[in-house]
Amino acid sequence: MASRQPASLLRVGLAQVNPRVGDIAANLDMVAHYVALAEEAGCDLVAFPELTLSGYPPEDLVLKAGFVADNRAALEKVAARTGRCAVVVGFVDVADDERVAQTSARPARLFNAAALCRNGAIVGVYHKQLLPNYSVFDEVRYFAPGHDDNTLYDVAGVAVSLSICEDVWVADGPLARQRAAGAQVAININGSPFDRHKGGVRESTVLARAVETGMPVAYVNQVCGQDELVFDGGSFVADAHGRVIARAAQFAEELLVVDVPVGVTRGASPSGAASARIAETLNELDQVLAALALGTRDYVRKNGFTDVVIGLSGGIDSALVAAVAVEALGAQHVHGVSMPSRYSSEGSRTDAADLARNLGIELLTVPIEPAFGAYLEMTRDAFDGRAADLTEENLQSRVRGTTLMALSNKFGWMVLTTGNKSELAVGYFTLYGDSVGGFAVIKDIFKTDVYALARRVNERARREIIPTATLTKPPSAELRPDQRDDQSLPPYDVLDSVLALYVEQDRTAAEIVALGHDAELVRRIVRLVDNNEYKRRQLAPGVRVTTKAFGKDRRLPITNAYRG
């Protein structure tokens, strides 16, 4: 075991782990593994993220009294295995007067809690005081707020306080009160989801609390995909002067071991301090690509799949999805399918083949012409006297969707859909056609960003992964002769600028026009967005990378007469 540090230091391990919601036994084993690593590293304390034992967010699982009881039993097992190294772990707690064996009734008061365990016992429990109830958070639905808890814990002669996520976001809040009670080091455990616009907000907030309180703050975050949400890790320690002295990598599991200086005056360096790694923060495009890969990997694997299948049209969207899938799962687990019709260009077929070759994935070719022709023949009498229109276009898309689902059924592959946020916003997709599947990888990525991310894929590889022709040709669904997206939609740079205001910023049409956008164009886009809410409700879940994603964030009524 590593040697102990001088009294001016507290050796803290931040266990940046990947729990699985509802898999309490596996989460318990994971905690035991990282506790052993922390003990081997000579840590005085190891901290795990918010609700690690239950997985975060557990949502309505906490309404099951048996689930709450099982997660509490797991905490008892964690405590029983502890020694000198203190363990801080998140779990769902129930009020003392209601802690009973499993019943069919929901406990009346639940808490988002952190326990400190040591020497075979639960030393104390902290209940989260500030419950977020905005964006993707709805903790008020499940938990009661904890009361002012300034309980401090002696860890290696240092007074340590506990807090959970939102507690650190408010000035003059729980951390300030804990400091006033004599705390020397704050441990803050988190389940903080990624979004591309969050930037350094987390760190700046925690650094502000460190300066405000004059004590170090150790911030630990989980790293995982959970349905639409992605958690990017990036755990770190701020010293008492608001400086980052250690940072874990983003989007990777690890134990970050930090000698945290306690009571050190400004400019002084505590003797015996081990230098900790300060991982570089990824640039925005690389963060988004990493989030897409992590979200896809965890959704596929945690739901019992090993392989995925993607319809490869030769277009930019399916190319990016395939590249992300290979990053997430490995080329051997990704299967592409080319499904040409009478309207498919030769270039699209060769672009799909080039992409598959560049990625090293299997490419199947399943022409849809026989099935499409059969549908036309089957409906000929019913459609007699009516000209071909969108109906026939959608038939092709639905044949492709059925084909992908047949492959999924036969081989056990999950279908990844390829629609982007621009198309989903305005309804430019076919229900039960190109929208079918288990997971929508780029559901929260505007079309203009699809191109930027695709170029970044090639830049990082230092070779052509996504074919140049795919990047440069006009986008097309190829469901009728010489079709292009810009025949049905405004140019994507114009469309996306309006969608960013209407969808992500909740501006009204009048406000968007006042900002200088063409009034007729804005009304058309807003009408398309509003009219297609019912279609979006039927989409597969997908990775959330913005602060306003369809599904988790943006929840508008389908039946809705307001036109602002």
What are the phi and psi torsion angles at 167 (to 5°)? -60, -25
d(CA 186, CA 47): 11
Both 393 and 435 in one domain: the answer is: yes
* Same domain (yes/no): 94, 135: yes
Q: How far is CA 472 from the centre of its chain?
A: 30
Q: Parallel, antiparallel, or unpaired for β 229-232 and 223-226? A: antiparallel
Q: Which residues are catalytic?
A: 50, 128, 165
Name 161's bridge partners: 186
Of 264, 298, 333, the one marking the end of a domain is 264
3-class DSSP state of 416: strand
Q: Is residue 405 part of a domain?
A: yes
Q: Looking at the structure, do residues 227 and 336 belong to the same domain, yes or no? A: no
Q: Is residue 154 part of a domain?
A: yes
Instruction: Give the list of residues 6+ apart from residue 417 with CB closer than 8 angstroms, or none.
Output: 321, 434, 435, 436, 437, 439, 440, 441, 443, 539, 540, 542
DSSP 250: B
Contact by Cβ (8 Å): 502, 512? yes
Q: Name the residue range of residue 232's domain.
A: 11-264
Please tell me the distance from the alpha carbon of residue 177 to that of residue 404, in angstroms, as a whole number.
57
Question: What residues are paired with 308 via a beta bridge?
Answer: 334, 414
Same domain for 419 and 364? yes
Q: Please determine, for residue 382, whether its predicted confidence score (pLDDT) is greater than 60.
A: yes
Residues 195 and 444: their CA atoms lie apart, in Å, by 10
Which strands, in side-by-side order, build the sheet including 153-155? Answer: 153-155, 158-164, 185-190, 217-221, 236-238, 244-247
CATH number at residue 85: 3.60.110.10
Over the stretch 485-510, which tens digit does the pLDDT of each residue have?
677 789 999 999 999 999 999 999 99
Tell me, yes or no, whether 225 and 338 share the same domain: no
Among the ranges given (93-107, 360-374, 423-437, 520-534), the one the predictor scored with the smallest mean pLDDT: 93-107
Domain match, 394 and 253 both: no
Nearest 5 degrees, angle CA 351-CA 356-CA 360? Answer: 150
- Structure confidence by residue, pLDDT tens digits, 288-337: 999 999 999 999 999 999 999 999 998 999 999 999 999 999 999 999 99
Of 452, 485, 518, the one marking the end of a domain is 485
Q: Are residues 194 and 325 in the same domain?
A: no
Does residue 264 register a pLDDT over 70?
no
Identify the H or E element spanning 376: helix 369-378
Query: Do residue 324 and residue 417 come from a single domain?
Result: yes
Closest CA to 328 of 353, 355, 354, 359: 359
CATH of the domain at 424: 3.40.50.620
Query: 468 burial class (0-12, 13-18, 19+ CB within 10 angstroms)?
Result: exposed
Q: What is the pTM of this model?
A: 0.92
In a domain, 512, yes or no: no
Query: Is 479 found in the same domain as 402?
Result: yes
Q: Are residues 217 and 73 in the same domain?
A: yes
In a domain, 164, yes or no: yes
320 with 383, same domain?
yes
Residue 522 lies in a domain: no
Whether 81 is in a domain gets the answer: yes
CB 121 within 8 A of CB 128: no
- Residue written as token pair 């949400």: 229
**Residue 460: is its pLDDT beyond 80?**
yes
315 belongs to a structural domain: yes
> Domain count of the chain?
2
Of the residues 469, 485, 501, which one is the last residue of a structural domain? 485
Q: Are residues 346 and 407 in the same domain?
A: yes
pLDDT tens column, 42-87 = 999 999 999 999 999 999 999 999 999 999 999 999 999 999 999 9
Q: What is the pLDDT of residue 102?
A: 46
In a domain, 500, yes or no: no
